[in-house]
Amino acid sequence: MSKTTITVYGIPNCDSVKKARVWLTDHGVDYVFHDFKKQGVPPEAVDQWLKHVSWEVLVNRKGTTWRKLDPALQASVVDNASARAMMMEHASVVKRPVVVKGQSVIVGVNPEAWLGVVS
């Protein structure tokens, strides 16, 4: 019986990603870390996330990256396709962390939801 891998997507210096990694480690959970800065945002992963989570959840409209974007560019993000294009172009606009196990996609710091996928 093979175990489904847990993948944490994010940026290493992001406080939310740090919290997730510490929580998983403290709970003895093995995971793979995917660094957006070094490895980019995988298009197939974004497609999978968008099947399970709304683009409004995935796009961090409160973060620095979003606030620095041109207002017209911000206004152009209105659906899955435009959000996907934005996330591919600006990795830091993805709300972090994205924790994935199988079909479960958890966005942001959510220990209660993590418990559900690690057990």
Tokens of 89: 């172009």
Give the pLDDT score at 119: 73
Over the Cα atoms of the chain, what is R_g?
Answer: 14
Give the pLDDT score at 3: 63
pLDDT in tens, the chain (119 residues): 346 789 999 999 999 999 999 999 999 999 999 999 999 999 999 999 999 999 999 999 999 999 999 999 999 999 999 999 999 999 999 999 999 999 999 999 999 999 988 87
* Active-site residue list: 14
Query: How far from each other are the two terminal CA atoms of the chain, in whole angstroms?
Result: 15
pTM greater than 0.85 (yes/no): yes
Query: Residues 7, 35, 51, 116: is their CA dihedral positive or negative?
Result: positive
